[in-house]
A and B are shown apart, each in its own frame.
Chain A
């Protein structure tokens, strides 16, 4: 508001000096209202309308298989969603997925970023290769993993297993969640590497020299100099990745389809299956609202925990 009222102030003073303060202020507020209204209107249409519709759907019985039967049912949809056996599975799987991928991408990301910071032959190419998985569409990379790498018959892993005389593993049947975590990590480690690698370049070389003179070996330099320097970019990685990892969908859809059973069903996939496999829009809307609520709680905690770290200079 204050920003959009600035130009209004300037033009008002220049063109119409002889008006009372009161009129002037009214005119300004009308002008600034007119100026922000398009964006407010877009926001309303974009966010408020879908939200209102979702809330409305979540309170009625609305199954596409039984058209016309749209009674008001109160919180029944929420009750069904929260007590569905898929819900607990979805919650645990979402948490498991987010936490493991975060852990893997931060740890591996830091290690890779530190390693590629030393100069070696072909470093430029290695850096590009390291971040390239991030630019591949999730569906494509999931398909590549499913059909070319993890496939029990034609996959590369199976070939390696057979080479050593071992029985190839059917990853998506035996270790479905681990396989999903592997695929998602493969996509998100590069993001962490990208951010942390850039951050490494701003690490003052003289600080490291000073630490070496102070008697710090490579490990001590990593703990006392490098890691504190990376604290902030790590916070950024955690924050951004959490937001995206909460809604992982394509990787599950293309590989396991949420199974076996509910083993790889996260919240996003659960809502999808409620809405489009069981055609229960009311239940899916309730699930969506629960997911929105959970995402907000997560965002709130993250911002309290990490946001302070970010705004605190230094």
Chain B
């Protein structure tokens, strides 16, 4: 078992509040990913869980045991650092066995554990090398091996793949997913990378300025962000946000007038909105179609287009000067400055009130996550 329960956790560095009260439940075998903008406190939260930083207030429990003030080594957690933090003067074998050596475990037992871990990570031939004689990916694997041998309840990863090149990152990502299944482990993973977050996570925790904005499965966050911050943070290219005003609210939904021209009738249900309120209309680049100028009331001018092969990103200038991005098919051709119309898929549109909170939209039964 390894259930982690965090209650009202706070951390300040010399009067600067970094973590401002976090509640979080992490279940056994879950792969949890922390995402958030740079400086929001992801690493700090991870280091608090690991015990490398002292908690200012709040509590951390692992399986009913309060570990808030327990020494890092006694928490049954292992951490993989962004810089790998291998011990440069020790061989790979020694790096991996260091924790066990310190714990005074039987030599034969250590040998067996190290070789088992080396087998899982395909490190066998590298055991007698020093870290400096390894490639980035191999170092990464040694760092993971070092945590595996300790057989921890929870693995903590702080941006473990950010020092690798794109191809290796994809490879290591798959390996981590495989490892998660194979070890049946609980993992907490910090990343900047959207793709890593979406592909690896059972549960994504979006952090912003020391608070949890939303916790949920990747698709839950993608389809039903609770506020404008999460909506803008999850998904690349970013969701487009268009300013507008509420025209009418009824049982059938909300009618909005966008500053850039068109009026839309949306199925969102709200009791708090009144006609005249400011509102933000959000639509993902993949939920818009570019059509000829006379086929839509939403008139725009095309800016630069980027062809990525499978997709084309069209940057679009709206009548009131706002910019947005549309993801069009790979063979989409357009001229710079050409006039066009946009057809947003209104069933996928998002609405946010003036404070940035989401106006809930009806969930089709199939999509409810």
Chain A positions within 8 Å of B, measured between CB atoms, are 204, 206-207, 209-216, 220, 224-225, 228-229, 231, 313-314
In the complex, besides A206-B81, A209-B52, A229-B88, 16 extra interface pairs with C-beta distance below 8 angstroms are A207-B85, A207-B86, A207-B87, A209-B50, A209-B81, A210-B87, A210-B146, A213-B52, A213-B73, A214-B73, A214-B146, A214-B150, A216-B73, A216-B102, A224-B87, A228-B89
A215 contact from B52, B88, B102, B146, Cβ within 8 A: B102
- State the Cβ distance, A209 to closest chain B Cβ, in Å: 5
Interface contact B79-A210, CB-CB below 8 Å: yes
Instruction: Indicate with 1 or 0, residue by residue over B18-61, a CB within 8 angstroms of chain A CB atoms.
Output: 00000000000000000000000000000100111000000000
Residues on B with C-beta less than 8 A from A211 are 87, 98
Q: Does B223 contact A (CB under 8 A)?
A: no
Interface contact A206-B83, CB-CB below 8 Å: yes
Instruction: Indicate with 1 or 0, residue by residue over B77-118, a CB within 8 angstroms of chain A CB atoms.
Output: 111011101111110000000110011000000000000000
- State the Cβ distance, B72 to closest chain A Cβ, in Å: 5
Interface contact A213-B98, CB-CB below 8 Å: no
Interface contact A209-B85, CB-CB below 8 Å: yes
A220 to B99, CA, bound (A): 11
Q: Does B119 contact A (CB under 8 A)?
A: no
B72 contact from A204, A212, A224, Cβ within 8 A: A212
Residues on A with C-beta less than 8 A from B73 are 212-216
A314 contact from B50, B72, B82, B130, Cβ within 8 A: B130
Interface contact B98-A214, CB-CB below 8 Å: yes
Interface contact B85-A215, CB-CB below 8 Å: no
Residues on A with C-beta less than 8 A from B51 are 213
Pick from B83, B85, B86 the residue with the most CB of A within 10 Å. Answer: B85
Chain B positions within 8 Å of A, measured between CB atoms, are 47, 50-52, 72-74, 77-79, 81-83, 85-90, 98-99, 102-103, 130, 132, 146, 150
Residues on B with C-beta less than 8 A from A229 are 88-89
Residues on A with C-beta less than 8 A from B72 are 209, 212-213
A202 to B132, CA, bound (A): 16
Interchain Cβ contacts under 8 Å between A and B, 16 examples: A207-B86, A207-B88, A209-B52, A209-B72, A212-B52, A213-B51, A213-B52, A216-B102, A224-B87, A224-B90, A228-B88, A228-B89, A313-B132, A314-B88, A314-B89, A314-B132
A216 to B146, CA, bound (A): 14
Interface contact A220-B83, CB-CB below 8 Å: no
Main secondary structure of the interface of A (DSSP, over half): helix
- State the Cβ distance, A249 to closest chain B Cβ, in Å: 39
Residues on B with C-beta less than 8 A from A228 are 87-89
Closest to A205 in B: B85
Closest to B82 in A: A206
Interface contact B83-A204, CB-CB below 8 Å: yes
Residues on A with C-beta less than 8 A from B89 are 228-229, 231, 314
Interface contact A215-B132, CB-CB below 8 Å: no
Residues on A with C-beta less than 8 A from B85 are 204, 206-207, 209-210
B87 contact from A213, A215, A225, A313, Cβ within 8 A: A225
A276 to B132, CA, bound (A): 56
Residues on B with C-beta less than 8 A from A215 are 73-74, 99, 102-103
B102 contact from A207, A220, A314, Cβ within 8 A: A220
A69 to B206, CA, bound (A): 96
Residues on A with C-beta less than 8 A from B88 are 207, 228-229, 314
Residues on B with C-beta less than 8 A from A225 are 87
- State the Cβ distance, A120 to closest chain B Cβ, in Å: 15
Closest to B47 in A: A209
- State the Cβ distance, B150 to closest chain A Cβ, in Å: 8
A313 to B77, CA, bound (A): 33
Interface contact A224-B98, CB-CB below 8 Å: yes
Residues on B with C-beta less than 8 A from A220 are 102
Residues on A with C-beta less than 8 A from B146 are 210, 214
Pick from B51, B79, B146 the residue with the most CB of A within 10 Å. Answer: B79
- State the Cβ distance, A123 to closest chain B Cβ, in Å: 16
Which 7 pairs across A and B sit closest by C-beta, in order of nearness? A215-B73, A214-B99, A206-B85, A210-B85, A228-B89, A314-B132, A206-B81
A220 to B74, CA, bound (A): 16
Closest to A225 in B: B87
A210 to B131, CA, bound (A): 15
Closest to A215 in B: B73
A225 to B85, CA, bound (A): 11
- State the Cβ distance, A311 to closest chain B Cβ, in Å: 14
A216 to B82, CA, bound (A): 20
- State the Cβ distance, B338 to closest chain A Cβ, in Å: 52
Interface contact B81-A210, CB-CB below 8 Å: yes
Residues on B with C-beta less than 8 A from A207 are 85-88
